[in-house]
Structure 1
Amino acid sequence: MKFFKPFFIFSSLLILIVSCGKDEDQEAPDPFTFSETQLLQMHNGDQKVWHITEFYEDYEEGIKSDLEACLLDETYTFLSTEREVLVEHGQTSCYWTDPEVQFGGAVYTYYPESGDLFLDFSIAEGKGTSTSATLWILRLIELTPNRMVFANGVPENRQRAVVFEVN
């Protein structure tokens, strides 16, 4: 009996130490990083057409942007080769009732070593001698074959966000 008690205590301590050591050494994978294989969902290895279905001022609080309505009729084609996005602007304008020109668009940058993907997303219009343009840099935080979400802010407090979906 004397042998079992010290052996039991020693074994329990050893298991506890080994278990704790593994938890501290292993970091949880970042859920907001993506592999090249996962990115195929974005462009199908060639190109894929997406539409904006939601545009948020504050994603965490569910507050939509005033600009959402002017983006819902646009088409975004994500290309695999140039890492660019072709934009077909819709009829609804963002800044003027009848702009002479709508421009702006999107370009994405992928960092394979970290798995981060960022979207430079802009809205711009011109009328006469006036132009208005806004640019956001957003990080990919969700990717499925039919839905992508790009947002800025920290994971606990996402702010501006754009949601793309396939029709």
Structure 2
Amino acid sequence: MKRIYSLVLIISTLFFSNCSKDDNELDVRYNTNDLQKLHANSSKKWLVESFFINYESNILSEYNDCYTDDEFTFFDDKKEVQTTLGNSSCFYDNPTDQQATLSYQFYDDIGKIYLNVSRGESFNEKFTTRIFTLELEEISETRMVFASGEYPNYGKTIVFTAVP
């Protein structure tokens, strides 16, 4: 009985000691230098290249067209993003009013950047809105990706490209 116990203990120890972080899992931490890519130490304009409902499967959101004609300006001195809406609406063919608000938060202690997105439209007495939060997953001088979910299985994802 002692041999069986010892054998089980050895196998269990080997099994658990060989467990490691999933190779696909990223542990990216952002810092103030990364924020400079976002706002260029003053302000920086970005366009939405694509809005996915499922990034891994390359499935665009039904709202892709209404986001890809908008322009977003990120600033270094405020967390609110200036939004210039394009001609495509999200919810109604001819809305009487449209609003889009983006803001970002940087949590230095955990190295994470989050983007809060809200979009609303009204048509006469009807009002429709969508609100969601995405986490920064990739950033360079010319491209940034905010997504929900875990790498590589991102769900809702917005890919931005910098305006030259």
The CA deviation string for residues 60-119 of structure 1, in whole angstroms up to 9 with x for no partner, is 111111110111110100011111101011111111111011102201011001110000
Q: RMSD value over aligned CA atoms? A: 1.7
Flag structure 1 segments of 5+ consecutive residues without an equivalent: 1-23
Look up the match of 1:36: 32
> In the aligned structure 1, how far is the partner of 2:60 from the partner of 2:32?
31
1:31, CA displacement in angstroms? 4.3
SS of match in other structure, 1:154: coil
> In the aligned structure 2, how far is the partner of 1:54 from the partner of 1:32?
22
The one-letter code matched in structure 2 to 1:99 is P
Look up the match of 2:144: 148
Whether 1:78 aligns to 2:60 is no
Whether 1:91 aligns to 2:92 is no
Flag structure 2 segments of 5+ consecutive residues without an equivalent: 1-19
1:126, CA displacement in angstroms? 0.9
1:165 pairs, out of 135, 157, 161, with 161
Look up the match of 2:15: none
Alignment of 1:50-129 (within 5 A): 50-129=46-125
Whether 1:46 aligns to 2:46 is no
How many pairs were matched up? 141
> In the aligned structure 2, how far is the partner of 1:53 from the partner of 1:155?
20
Which is higher, the Rg of structure 1 or of structure 2? 1
Percent identical residues? 27
1:137, CA displacement in angstroms? 0.5
1:30, CA displacement in angstroms? 4.9
TM-score (norm 1): 0.80
Look up the match of 1:15: none
- Counterpart contact for 2:30–2:112, Cα < 8 Å: yes
The one-letter code matched in structure 2 to 1:111 is Y
> In the aligned structure 2, how far is the partner of 1:154 from the partner of 1:117?
15
